[in-house]
Structure 1
Amino acid sequence: MGDSADHTHHTRFRIPRVMWEAYGRVAERLGTDRSALLLDHVRADIREYGDERDLADLEAAEQELAERRARKGGRPRRSAQADS
């Protein structure tokens, strides 16, 4: 496999299944998915509470995501939010 910076990290955490399912329905109503919502939350916490290193790592991660999306044809737009 390649360098760990060459792919997004897959992580696991424990959450009650019923809560995860509810979060999925909420995300669907917002026209997005749980991953996008979680990424937005992580970004917001890093911006609010992060130090210089955390903010630099966030910038590097955003660049990596932009490059990945460019190779894959981009991320679909949030159509439901645009309609709201």
Structure 2
Amino acid sequence: MEAKKGIPKSHLSEIMGDRKLRIADVIRCTKVGRNTCARVYQEKDMEKMTLGTFITLCDGLGVSLNELLEYHPLKKYNPETQQCEDYE
């Protein structure tokens, strides 16, 4: 399922499913707290998390940031007008 524009989409649940991992396994591998892992898994308040948190998850799981997260911006840049515009 594609991410909604402006809302980050986490692929942590798919990564965990493919590897048969539990939240406890992710915590052990990444040293990221349970609440933070659960928020990423449930895609809650992720826009408030730091890039460092996502990098720590990526390093611990051996995945790239693109494999962990998906994001589609609310606006796009139009080089002709040199302005940012809403997607139609």
Same fold (TM over 0.5): no
Tell me which protein shows more helix as a share of its residues: 1
Larger relative contact order (C-alpha < 8 A, sep ≥ 6)?
2
TM-score of the superposition, structure 1-length normalised?
Answer: 0.26
